[in-house]
Amino acid sequence: MQTLAVDHPLVAHKLTTLRDVRTDSPTFRRLADELVTLLAYEATRDVRVAEATVQTPLVPAEGVQLASPKPLVVPILRAGLGMLDGMTRLLPTAEVGFLGMIRDEGTLQAQTYATRLPDDLSGRQCYVLDPMLATGGTLAAAIRLLFERGADDVTALCLLAAPEGLKYLEQAFTDISAPIKVVTAAIDSHLNEQGFIMPGLGDAGDRLYGVV
């Protein structure tokens, strides 16, 4: 498994504002959207392309286009929805699936409550959107499901990651030889007793959409 913490001044600037408890939900959503686009630039560095020829106003030109099958973007509901526009802005022709998962706050285990994905993901590159990689249980369950359906390359985009979650992912996929990559704005210090990332930015879903 590869892990990339994107080292860029704009990433650090936007993340600092996201952490600030004074940042309201509309501003939080806008900055999260912008931050995801920056992360997506790095996350798609290995996206598969095929050679293509186009006609310019002057002459034919050689270039590339996204290869088939198209990449699949999978936000984990509900907080992952706040990352979708920022990702599809960079990959407008990608297809989108949805995965509803929730963490049991008692056991910290992920439970799936909704799935809207193709049954066959053979040969697909998948990009999972999950703002907070905390214990790693939710993200690991999502990645496992994608591999079970045939995906052969999975990249996760996270606003923040905890060392415990990254370690959990590494241990969870020792039986998988397919590429797994985590792209994040920062790797924070640790998890607290409740399983929240420290210093973190709070509950990403609540910060995006309010407490429900």
CATH number of the domain that residue 173 is part of = 3.40.50.2020
pLDDT value at position 162? 97
Is 124 annotated as catalytic? Answer: no
Binding residues for uracil: 197, 202-204
118-137 average pLDDT score: 94
22 is annotated as an active-site residue: no
Options 107, 119, 174, 175, the catalytic residue: 107
User: In which domain, by residue range, is 75 found?
Assistant: 2-209
In the predicted model, is pLDDT for residue 107 greater than 70?
no
Residue numbering of the annotated binding site for 5-phospho-alpha-D-ribose 1-diphosphate = 78, 103, 130-138, 203
pLDDT number for residue 106: 66
Residue 103 falls in the annotated catalytic set:
yes
Whether the pLDDT of residue 109 is over 80: the answer is no
Q: Which long-range contacts (CB under 8 A, 24 or more apart) does 99-104 make?
A: 99/74, 99/75, 99/128, 99/142, 99/145, 100/76, 101/76, 101/77, 101/138, 101/141, 101/142, 102/138, 103/135, 103/137, 103/138, 103/195
Mean pLDDT across the chain, nearest whole number? 92
What confidence category does residue 105 fall into, taking pLDDT thresholds of 50, 70 and 90? low
**What's the number of domains the chain is made of?**
1
Q: What percent of the chain has pLDDT over 70?
A: 96
